[in-house]
Amino acid sequence: MQPIHLRTAFPTILGLLLLLISATVPLHPALADGASQGPAAGRADSNLIDRGKYVAQLGDCIACHTVGDGPAMAGGRPLATPFGVIYSTNITPDAETGIGAYSFAQFDRAMRRGVAADGHNLYPAMPYPSYAKISDDDLHALYAYLMRGLAPVHQANAPAYMRWPFSMRWGLALWKWALVDGTPFRAVAGRDALWNRGAYLVQSLGHCGACHTPRGIGFQEKAVTEAGPDGKYFLAGETVEGWRALSLRNLWTVEDTVQLLKTGQNRFATVSGNMGEVIHHSTQYFTDADLTAIAGYLKSLPPGQNELPMPPPATIAAVPPADLYTTRGGLAYAQFCSDCHRLDGAGVKDIFPPLRQNPAVSAADPASLIHILLTGSQTPETAAHRRIYTMPAFARLADRELAEIAIFLRASWGFDAKPVTEAEVRTMRAQLGPKLAASSAFETPRLADMLGQPNAEQLVRGMRLNAETRELLPDDVGNTLNCTSCHLNAGTVADGSPFVGLSAFFPSYASRAGRVITLAERINGCFLRSMNGKALPAESVEMTAMVAYFDWMKGQTKPTDTVSGRGVGKIDMAIKPDMGNGQRVYAAQCAVCHGKDGEGLADADGKVIYPPLWGDKSFNIGAGMARTYTAAAFVKRNMPIGLHAGFPLGQGGLSDQDAVDVAEYFTHQPRPEFLPKVKDWPRDPKPADARY
């Protein structure tokens, strides 16, 4: 379990000076033990407990007080702060290690004033500055749930490891007295009940300001409400441990904000970082009425000073940026990013987020964008989106390369956001210390390097003919596939039919043809079979460009060399396929991109995103991918994408058996005929899994 990194209300500068002053401020008399009388434990009925569970979800208690798959609310999760590490506490009703011996008055004091039952001050990783605004009714309900709705767990609390002088808790009392506004929530006259409900949830249980409000000199939130002279700072955005917590003021429409909080996605973005946990554990469970109240309240706030409100949705069709193929950043984007986010930056609805109008791309502070590039990201699991999609970390790329990609993204879809510098990437890499993907003998070519070649224009044309085959050669492609449908990332992925070193092995004997063939003939084999089209003239400009691209990919490879990652690997043909299981695997893992009935996936304009796996617009029966074990080897190493954090596409991950089963299923669905099949394997034995 990784620690949560917090930049909460810990004292610095002025706060440090205050800590060194010896004083302990007494609690307000209204908060003394016994001042607030909660309901007797025996009267905590099921309705009150259910309400308390909902209050706990509103406050996202489980996120900090539960370790991974450990017992709920038993504590022990490390919370990394700038001043050391503390561990969340056991808040189950265990009398010895939890809070089972707490009276309601003691619970009230801990929640609202940050003072434990034995009198020691709590570090404000516990957001008691916000919880001070929780209503009496909600606090009573929460107490009933924690005491009666949870099973007690006997798990001792771990001691904190804070550097001196922050290890001396007594100074926190003075810090709270000087810098924390602990006033209760008060409804604003003239505002309707929905607005006030939203304000209450945001300011108290939601504790949104803990991350989204700028910090003052003592590390306190500059404002805890929208009112007063400092109200302009409330929720105006802050950078927290390498993530940009956006300004929430007038950010999106009410509907957009509700959708994000409910599902983790909307038409602008997918949440990342710790916000994913907030969605997963907390906001997805809010009632629609409460989500609407929160979104309405946020929409009512004037734009923050540090962020601009998001522009209205674009009304023009998405098109690839003009410099996509003429800049290093553009070519790096086309190579490493476009399979998921598409050449036009539109993303894939409900799967991969768009980059146009995406706040991580357009925010004034590019921290989140750099963070994601270095460490990757995951979508939160919600009732609306059960499947988790993963963006791998790209820390294997050099600082310069990541800066080039970020510059391209912000120039293309960031609304004139300032460029990212190599130094910014280097600084964050040092701060985050991202783990590099396991090294491989396979050398991933960088398409950006083509720009330094004397025939750069021809090489780029050859690459584009691989990436946009059906669009650039509509008369030669008979279905909806591109070369990159099988040769991932324009032929630069290990075990994804890469082009690396390939041309060094041509002319070469081909058993299917029964003779020595040229590279151009091999390329045309794909046009005739995989793309169910017609051959290109060997001397055409298009074929010459494609061969030149392959030749550039050859590098220093010699015909006698062994190229790591060549082809799609092998899979044991002794594995017997189970068609029924293959259908189940297809439905669970493949249909989201390739369609319930193998029809592929298209955008709203009908443009194909991911190709069909059977039917009239798929590869024909003569294609290598129509063979069970060839397809299984490809699937094993390359599908589905976004399944895990492996570089570069999070691809692969099915078991050998599942790969064989699903390959058997989709290869044996209806597909176009290939009449010249009678000429195949004239001299050599036909493979056992050939379809004819």
Q: Quick one: tokens of 682?
A: 């004239």
Which residues have a Cβ under 8 Å from the Cβ of 684 and sit 6 or more positions away? 511, 514
Buried/exposed code over 418-451 (b: 16+ C-beta within 10 A; e: otherwise): eebebebbbebbeebebeeeeeeeeebbbbbebb
- Could you write out the DSSP letters of every residue in 1-44? -PPEE---S---THHHHHHTS---PPPPGGGSTTSS-PPPGGG-
Q: In this predicted model, what pLDDT tens digit does every residue of 371-393 receive, in sequence order?
A: 999 999 999 999 999 999 999 99
- The pLDDT mean for the chain works out to 90
CB 459 within 8 A of CB 450: yes
pLDDT at 316: 59
End-to-end CA distance of the chain: 52
Q: In this predicted model, what pLDDT tens digit does every residue of 291-320 receive, in sequence order?
A: 999 999 999 999 876 565 566 665 556 889
Q: In this predicted model, what pLDDT tens digit does every residue of 499-526 receive, in sequence order?
A: 999 999 999 999 999 999 999 999 999 9
Give residue 186's Cα distance to chain centre: 37
Domain 447-554: assigned CATH number: 1.10.760.10
Q: Is the pLDDT of residue 74 over 70?
A: yes
CB 246 within 8 A of CB 236: no
Residue 258 CB-density burial (10 A; 0-12 exposed, 13-18 middle, 19+ buried): buried
**Between the CA of residue 462 and those of 100, 447, 481, 490, 525, what are the distances in Å?**
70, 11, 16, 10, 17
Distance between CA 333 and CA 342 in Å, rounded?
A: 9
Banded pLDDT at 439 (limits 50, 70, 90): confident
Give residue 142's Cα distance to chain centre: 32
Q: Quick one: tokens of 36?
A: 């607030």
Q: Which residues pair with 4 in a beta bridge?
A: 79
pLDDT at 177: 83
pLDDT at 157: 92
Q: Is the pLDDT of residue 20 over 50?
A: no
Tell me the backbone φ, ψ of residue 80, rounded to 5 degrees: -85, 125
Q: Where are the domains of the chain?
A: 4-179, 193-263+290-300, 328-432, 447-554, 579-609+628-679
Q: In this predicted model, what pLDDT tens digit does every residue of 634-648 receive, in sequence order?
A: 999 999 999 999 999
Banded pLDDT at 169 (limits 50, 70, 90): confident
Q: In this predicted model, what pLDDT tens digit does every residue of 279-295 receive, in sequence order?
A: 999 999 999 999 999 99
pLDDT at 125: 84
Class of domain 328-432: mainly alpha
The secondary element (H helix, E strand) that includes residue 339 is: helix 338-341
Please give the model's pTM, rounded to 2 decimal places.
0.90
Distance between CA 330 and CA 321 in Å, rounded?
A: 8
Q: Percent of the chain scored above 70 by pLDDT?
A: 92
Q: Is the pLDDT of residue 32 over 70?
A: no
Banded pLDDT at 171 (limits 50, 70, 90): confident
pLDDT at 314: 58
Q: In this predicted model, what pLDDT tens digit does every residue of 316-342 receive, in sequence order?
A: 568 899 999 999 999 999 999 999 999
Q: Does domain 579-609+628-679 have CATH number 1.20.1250.20?
A: no
Q: Is the pLDDT of residue 12 over 70?
A: no
Q: Is the pLDDT of residue 183 over 50?
A: yes
